[in-house]
Chain A
Amino acid sequence: QSALTQPPSASGSPGQSVTISCTGTSSDLGNYNFVSWYQQHPGRAPKLIIYDVNQRPSGVPDRFSGSKSGYTASLTVSGLQAEDEADYYCSSYAGNNKGVFGTGTKVSVL
């Protein structure tokens, strides 16, 4: 049950786009389309922003989009806004009724 691999940090200027990768294995992300993404602001609980690879919960802006290819999933935040500055975590079903999270990426808005 090793954590999914994410880059430690990513950044962009307001209005730009930033893409975060999330790499797994054949035991988890590569074998299932149950990939989700969470946004976490300091001192707050995480919030679901993408589920089932590319689905957005109601209320989440369409600036957030997800995709997956092979063993890597990606989250793209378009039209960056100041409030998008946060930590982002991917997650995947890992088989045998277990889950796994990514290592997390800190997004900075320059």
Chain B
Amino acid sequence: EVQLVESGGGLVQPGGSLRLSCAASGFRVDINYMSWVRQAPGKGLEWVSIVFSGGTTSYADSVKGRFIISRDSSRNTLYLQMNGLRVEDTAVYYCTKDTARGWHVDYWGQGTLVTVSS
């Protein structure tokens, strides 16, 4: 059974850093496409970043240069290192397992809340 469990969210001041983790089970993160999607309170979904099975990464323009997506095959865990956080980064961050054929999310984690505030 596929499971995704995010952790690492919390309250951080503007300009600060935070690292989110997503522990996966039921499949291997290093041979699948994995993404982060976020949702600001009361707002819609926003695509954030993806890491492909070959290791190529991509980012939304809103986070490029500040966020880094990575994975650890030994821990079967996906990460999102978030630097230079801004108030507008406040959101629930979802870890997702994506299809390798096309472009859609097959599985979602439960999400972890990141609040950026002074």
Instruction: Name A residues whose Cβ lies closer than 8 Å to a Cβ of B.
Output: 1, 3, 32, 34, 36, 38, 40, 45-48, 51-52, 57, 89, 91-93, 96-104
Whether A97 lies near B56 (C-beta < 8 A) is yes
Partner of B45, one of A51, A97, A98, A101: A101
B104 and A91 form a contact (CB under 8 A): yes
Interface digits, B30-54 against A, CB 8 Å rule (1 contact, 0 not)?
A: 0000010100000011110010100
Closest-by-CB residue of B relative to A104 is B44
Give A3's nearest chain B residue, CB to CB: B44
User: How many residues on the B side are at the interface (Cβ–Cβ under 8 A)?
Assistant: 25
Complex: how many Å from CA A6 to CA B45?
A: 12
30 contacts between A and B (CB under 8 A): A3-B46, A34-B103, A34-B104, A36-B103, A36-B104, A36-B105, A38-B45, A45-B94, A45-B108, A45-B109, A45-B110, A46-B94, A46-B108, A47-B108, A48-B104, A52-B104, A57-B106, A91-B105, A92-B103, A93-B102, A96-B58, A97-B50, A97-B58, A98-B58, A98-B59, A99-B35, A101-B45, A101-B47, A102-B44, A103-B44
